[in-house]
Amino acid sequence: MKKTGHQHFNEFDCSQICYYDISKIETAMRIKWIRGLLKNHDYVIYASTPNKAVGFETTLLEDDEDER
């Protein structure tokens, strides 16, 4: 479903939200997985609890990644 959504996103007249519970990702792979997530999505909303969330455009991180 997610792959189809990405392939045909411009054909849909809507927004799409993908949910990931990062606490369930193996600790050793978490940083690599999160970097991939940020690279493959235009916007991210991080919420540690329902009333504590921050959203941002992932292109704002590009300068930091280029320096690595």
Report if residue 28 sits inside a domain: yes
CB-based contacts of 20: which residues, under 8 Å, 6+ apart?
37
> What would the pLDDT profile of 16-52 be if each residue is shown by its tens digit?
778 888 889 999 999 998 888 888 888 889 898 889 9
The answer to whether the beta carbons of residues 34 and 22 sit under 8 Å apart is: yes
Please give the residue range of the domain that contains residue 38: 20-66
Domains in the chain: how many in total? 1
pLDDT of 15 reads 75
Report if residue 62 sits inside a domain: yes
Residue with tokens 């799409």: 16
Report if residue 11 sits inside a domain: no
What pTM does this model have?
0.59
In whole angstroms, give the CA distance from residue 54 to residue 43: 11
In whole angstroms, give the CA distance from residue 55 to residue 45: 4
Average pLDDT of the segment spanning 2-22: 76
For residue 42, what are its two tokens?
């235009």
Report if residue 12 sits inside a domain: no
Name the CA radius of gyration of the chain, rounded. 14
